[in-house]
Amino acid sequence: MTSAPPLRAVLFDIGDTLVRAAVPGTPVAHLRAEPIGAARRELDALATSYRLGAVTDTTVMTERDVRDALSGTGLGELLEVIVTSVEAGRPKPDPVGLRLAMAHLGVAPEETLFVGDAPVDAAAAAAAGVAFAPVDGSAGEAVRAHLTARSGAFEAAARLVAPTDEHAARAARDHHGLLTKPAGSLGRLEDVGVQLAAIAGVDPPPRPRPAAVAVFAADHGVVAEGVSAWPQEVTAQMVANFVAGGAAVNVLAAQHDAAVTVVDVGVATDLGGLATGGSAQLRSCPVRRGTANLAREAAMTRDEARRALDVGAAIAHELVADGAAALVTGDMGIGNTTAAAALVAAFTGRTAAAVTGRGAGADAATLDRKVRAIESALARLDPGADALSILAEVGGLEIAALAGFVVGGASHRVPVVVDGVIADAALLVAAALCPASVAYAIAGHRSSEPGATAALGHLHLDPLLDLGLRLGEGSGAVAALPLVDSAALVLAQMATFDAAGVDACQA
Amino acid sequence: MTSAPPLRAVLFDIGDTLVRAAVPGTPVAHLRAEPIGAARRELDALATSYRLGAVTDTTVMTERDVRDALSGTGLGELLEVIVTSVEAGRPKPDPVGLRLAMAHLGVAPEETLFVGDAPVDAAAAAAAGVAFAPVDGSAGEAVRAHLTARSGAFEAAARLVAPTDEHAARAARDHHGLLTKPAGSLGRLEDVGVQLAAIAGVDPPPRPRPAAVAVFAADHGVVAEGVSAWPQEVTAQMVANFVAGGAAVNVLAAQHDAAVTVVDVGVATDLGGLATGGSAQLRSCPVRRGTANLAREAAMTRDEARRALDVGAAIAHELVADGAAALVTGDMGIGNTTAAAALVAAFTGRTAAAVTGRGAGADAATLDRKVRAIESALARLDPGADALSILAEVGGLEIAALAGFVVGGASHRVPVVVDGVIADAALLVAAALCPASVAYAIAGHRSSEPGATAALGHLHLDPLLDLGLRLGEGSGAVAALPLVDSAALVLAQMATFDAAGVDACQA
C-alpha cells in the first residue's frame, strides 16, 4: 500500500477503451457504440466511489454527438463529463482535454486516474500529471490493476463490485414464465437462475462451470482455551490431505470438475515438507503464523486483517483470470468455529451462547469454554467499532481471506457459492465492508452450527442444501454446485410453450 | 398371466447355477464356493416366498460336504435341503434327486421350479414333471423370467426383493468413522452412503451412474370434475416435449448423463404422430386410454392396475439390463395430483383436505373440487380393501406403473430415487404390496404438495432436497442425483486418518 492521496475521479478514453472503435469514416449518424465486455457494469460500480468522465479524440464529434452514439449502452449516463478534441481544440497527447474534464469535475491531477488504450492516452496523462492505467482487456481491469497497486487487491475489488443487473433479472423472470412448466414450479432453481442472470448481466446466464474452490487455511490462538477436540497440528495435516486429494472437498470437487486451490493464510505448523504435484494446488500466503488468542487479546492487527482480505481478493482474481465461472469458499482451521461464532455475534448482535455450536465435535465442557472465550472477546469490542476492527479483534485469518474472496468474486461478476458457518461469518464481514457483494453470494448449505442460521437470516439468504453437514472445507458449497448449474441450464435449454406446441395454463 | 398352480418351492442346481463350478479334481477339503453375482441376496428374497432346496451332481460329496463347501457364502443356510447324486444314487438327468428334494419339502412337482444351467438339469426337470428355468446370468434372473411368464413382471419382481444388506451397511458406517473428517460430519451424505452399501451389498458401494429416468405418462378421468387448470391434451403435448428434449426433466437428466425413457401407460390423446429419434425414447405400453373418473367410479379394474404395475416393473428390468445403476421416477398426467392425494389419504388415513394441494396451479375453487372428488372416491373404499383394490379404485395408471418401477428397481438391488408427490403416492402402493422395496428408495425432493409430506412421514423418508419444486416429471429426483453420487464417491475415494497421517479427534 502506498500513501498516495485518495483517488476521487476516473477519466476514460472511449474508443477501444470503453467501446469498440468505429471504422474510420463511419458517418456520425451511423455510429452505434458496442461496449467492451462489461464496461457499463464496471462504470456502474466505480460511479459509487468516484466521479467519472471521458476524454476522447475525434475530429468530427462534440460531447452531444458522443452521447448520442453511446445512447442505449448505459455508459453516457455514468459519465458526468465527456470532452472531445473538437471541444478541447487539440487532440491528445495535449493535456488540455484532461484538464477541461478535471476542471469540470473539480478534482486535482493527483486525485485523478486516466484509463486509455493508446500511447497518446499515456502521454496526455503524463503531460497533465495524472496517473495512467493502460487497458489490457477491459477498462475496469485497468482500474483494478491501478487500485491494487495503490491500495491493495481487496480495496480494488470492493470498488469494482457493481449492483447486480435488475434488467437481466427481469428478463430471466419473464423467460421462466414462457418455459414448458407451470409458473414457478421449479421453485428455488428459478430464483437462482434469476440471480445468475442478474450477476452475469445476461439471460440466459452462463453456466457456472468450471467452478474453482479455494480452501483458506489458518490457525487460531484461541485453541489455547481448549475450544476444540482436535490438536492444532490437524490444520496442517489436513492441508497436506487437501494437497494429496484425500479430503471430502477433493472428492466432491473432482466430481463436479472443480479445481481446488489450498491457500495458507496463516497455518501455525510448518508446511515446508509438503509434496507438490498433488490433486490440489497449494499457495503460500501467510499473513502471520496463526492468530493470537482472541479470548485474551486482538486476534490480529487491522493491517494483518487487511492483508488477509487482500489474499482472498487476489486469489479470487487469479482464479477468475484462469477461467473460473464460479467461485466456491472453503476453509480449514482448528478452532475456527469459535472465531466464526464471535464474528456472527458481533455482526448480528446475538449473544455468544446463541450462536455457538459444537463445531467438529465439542463436548459440553468444550462448548462452555468456547462460549466464555467468545464472551471475553466480545467484551473488548467498542460499541462503535468498524467492520475491519471487529474482524481484527475477534476474527481469523482464513475468515478474513474468505471475505476478500467473496468481494473479489463479486468484483468479477461471478457467483460465489458459500459453504457453512465459517463462510457465513466471512460473508457478514464482506457485507459490512462491501454491501453490494452479498447479491453475488449463493448459500450452498445450511451448516448445523447455530451461528450459520443467525448469519444467513441476517443476510436474508436461504441455502440450497440442508443435509446436516458440519465439515467445512467447502464441502457443502461444492455439493450444491450442480443445483446452481441446473438453474442456469433450464433457462438456456428448456423449450417454450410456443416452440413446443404445449397449451398454457387456463387459470 | 397363466392359471398355473401357485409355486411353493424352488430347487437349484449348484455348480454354475449358484456358485462357480470347481475345477474338476479339486480335493473336497479345498473346495471354496464363490457365489455367482448376488446369489445369496436372490435366495434371501426368494426364501420369504418359497421353500428352497438344491439338487446337485457330484461323485464324491454328501450334503454335509456341500454345506461345508458353501460355508461363508450364506447360501447353505437358505437351502432347506441339498440332495447330491451320492445320496440319490443316480445323477441327473435321473429325476430321483429332484423327487427326494420335493419329498423332503412336501411339495408336488407342479408346485416346484427347478433352476439349472445344464441340459441334464432340464432333462431331470422334464422327467420329474417339474418346471425348469435355465440360468443365463444368475439363478435369480432365471427365476424372474419364469415368474414373469407365470404371473407377470410385477409379481416376479416383488418375489425377488431382498432385505437390504445389514452387513454391508455396518461396514460402510464403520468405514465412515475412519475417513479424514469428524465423525458424522457429512450428515445425510453418510446416511445415503450407508444405504447405497446396504442396497448393493458391498462397501464402498458402486456409483449410481449411469442413472435412468422413466417418465410414466397417463391421463385421468377425474379431470372431468374440473380439478386441473390445464387441459387434458397437455399430457400428450408434454410427452411430445419430453421426446423432443425440451422439458425440465430432459435438461436436468442430460446434465447428469441420465437417459430419459417416456412410457405411455395410458395417455388419452393419440400420440401417433410423435416424431421419434428425439432426445428421449418413447415406449408405448397403454393399459387403457386414461382412467375413469375416480370421483364417480373405480379409476380402473384390478386387472388393469396389475397390468400397469407390470409395465413399471418391466421397464425397470429393461433399464437395469441396459446398464442403469440407479433408477429415477418421473411422471406426467394432467390431474394426477388428485389421484395421488386420494392414494395418500387412503394409505395414511388422513383426510382428503389434509393431503390435497394446488398441484400445478389450482385456484381455491379448483382445490375445493379436488378435495370433494377425493372424498367421493374415498367413500367408496371398503375399510378392509387390499392395496391393489385401493390402487384400482382411486389411483392412476402412471402411479401404478411407478409402484411397479420401484419394486422392479428394488428387485435388481439398485437405488430408486423418487421424485415428488406422485412418486411418493406410488411408493405407498409399493410399500403396501412389497414392504421390503422401500429400503431401496431414496427420496430426492420434498414436493410442496401436502400429500408428499404425509406420504414421506408415513414411510419414514427424509428427502435430500427441499427447493420448492412442484413440477413432477422426475425433476426433483434427477436434481438430487449428484448428491447420491457424492454419497458413494466419498466412501470410495476419501483418505483414512491412518493413510493421510491426520491425527484423530481427542474427544
Mutate to test the interface with A, among B209, B252, B506 (most CBs of A within 10 A): B252
Give the mutation candidate from B336, B465, B491 for the A interface (greatest A CB count, under 10 A).
B465
Q: Give the tens place of pLDDT for each residue, A234-270.
A: 999 999 999 999 999 999 999 999 999 999 999 999 9
**Chain A residue closest to B449 (CA)?**
A185
Q: What is the pLDDT of residues A171-211, one digit of tens each?
A: 999 999 999 999 999 999 999 999 999 999 999 999 999 99
Q: Which of B187, B229, B252 sits opposite A470 (nearest CB)?
A: B187
pLDDT at A28: 73
pLDDT score at B1: 44
Residue A22 confidence (pLDDT): 74
Pull the grid cell for residue B326.
Answer: 440407479
- The residue among B181, B239, B421 with the most chain A CBs within 10 A of its CB, best to mutate, is B181
Query: Residue A72 and residue A403: Cα distance in Å, rounded?
Result: 35
Other Cβ atoms less than 10 A from the Cβ of A318: the count is 16
Q: Are strands B259-266 and B441-443 parallel, antiparallel or unpaired?
A: unpaired
In 3-state terms chain B splits into helix, strand, coil percentages (rounded to 5) of: 50, 15, 40
Which residues from chain A sit within 8 angstroms of residue B506, using beta carbons?
229-231
pLDDT of B32 reads 77
- Tell me: pLDDT of A1 over 50: no
For residue A255, list chain B residues with Cβ-Cβ distance below 8 A: 482, 485-486, 489
Q: How far apart are CA A344 and CA B321, in angstroms?
A: 53
The reply to whether residue A247 touches residue B448, judged by beta carbons under 8 angstroms, is no
Interchain CB distance below 8 Å, B360 and A185: yes
Nearest chain A Cα distance for residue B216, angstroms: 17
Separation between Cα atoms, residue B219 and residue B221, nearest integer Å: 7
Residue contact B244–A181, C-beta within 8 A: no
Phi-psi region of B61 (alpha: psi -120 to 50; beta: other; left: phi over 0): beta
Asked if A182 lies within 8 A of B361 by C-beta distance, the reply is yes
Residues in A closer than 8 angstroms to B480, CB to CB, are none
DSSP lists the bridge partners of residue A51 as A9
Nearest C-alpha of chain A: how many angstroms from B256? 9
* Cα gap B292→B392, rounded to integer Å: 10
Q: What's the complex ipTM?
A: 0.95
Residue B356 is predicted with a pLDDT of 95
* pLDDT tens per residue, range A145-176: 999 999 999 999 999 999 999 999 999 999 99
Hey, which residues of A are catalytic here? Answer: 473
- In the A/B pair of chains, how many CB contacts fall below 8 A? 196
Q: Let me know if B473 is a catalytic residue.
A: yes
Lowest mean pLDDT among A283-287, A309-313, A370-374, A499-503: A499-503
Instruction: Collect all residues of chain B within an 8 Å Cβ-Cβ radius of residue A470.
Output: 182, 184-185, 187
CA count, 13 A, side-chain hemisphere, B251: 25
SS3 for B144-162 is HHHHHHHHCHHHHHHHCCC
H helix or E strand, kind and range, residue A482? helix A475-493
- Contact list in B for residue A189 (CB cut-off 8 A) is 467, 469, 479
Question: With pLDDT > 70 as the criterion, what percentage of chain A qualifies?
Answer: 98
Answer whether A179 sits within 8 Å of B465, measured CB to CB: no
pLDDT at A59: 85
Which residues of chain A make contact with B370, given a CB cutoff of 8 A? none
B376, B346 in Cβ contact below 8 A? Answer: no
Res A504 pLDDT > 90: no
Question: Of B121, B119, B116, B156, whose CA–CA distance to B7 is shortest?
Answer: B156
**Residue A176: all three cell numbers together:** 421462466
Q: Which residues does A200 contact at the CB level (< 8 Å), separation at least 6?
A: A165, A168, A206, A413
With 80 as the cut, is the pLDDT of residue A49 above it? Answer: yes
pLDDT confidence of residue A266: 98
Q: Which of B231, B245, B227, B252 is nearest to B377 (CA)?
A: B227
In angstroms, the CA B151 to CA B133 distance is: 15
pLDDT classification of A4: cutoffs 50, 70, 90: low
* pLDDT at residue A465 in the model: 98
Kindly list the distances between the CA atom of residue A124 and the CA atoms of A6, A19, A86, A88, A145, in Å, as whole numbers in the listed order: 21, 20, 16, 13, 20
Phi-psi region of B187 (alpha: psi -120 to 50; beta: other; left: phi over 0): left
A410-467 confidence digits (pLDDT tens)? 999 999 999 999 999 999 999 999 999 999 999 999 998 999 999 999 999 999 999 9
Q: What is the rounded CA–CA span in Å between residue A395 and residue A389?
A: 9
As a whole-number percent, the residues of chain A with pLDDT over 90 amount to 89
The beta-carbon neighbor of B464 closest among A256, A467, A499 is A467
Beta pairing partners, A19: A15, A35
Among the partner-chain residues B229, B470, B507, the one whose CB lies closest to the CB of A229 is B507
DSSP letter for each residue of B435-492: GGGGGGEEE-B--SSHHHHHHHHHHT---SB-S-----TTHHHHHHHHHHHHHHHHHH
Closest Cβ–Cβ partner in A182, A238, A246 for B471: A182
> Which residues make beta-bridge pairs with B136?
B138
Per-residue pLDDT in tens (0 to 9) along chain B, 507 residues: 445 689 999 999 999 999 998 777 777 777 778 999 999 999 999 999 999 999 999 988 999 999 999 999 999 999 999 999 999 999 999 999 999 999 999 999 999 999 999 999 999 999 999 999 999 889 999 999 999 999 999 999 999 999 999 999 999 999 999 999 999 999 999 999 999 999 999 999 999 999 999 999 999 999 999 999 899 999 999 999 999 999 999 999 999 999 999 999 999 998 876 766 678 899 999 999 999 999 999 999 999 999 999 999 999 999 999 999 999 999 999 999 999 999 999 999 999 999 999 877 789 999 999 999 999 999 999 999 999 999 999 999 999 999 999 999 999 999 999 999 999 999 999 999 999 999 999 999 999 899 999 999 999 999 999 999 999 999 999 999 999 999 999 999 999 999 988 987 665
Give the model's pLDDT for residue A3: 59
Mean pLDDT on A107-121: 98
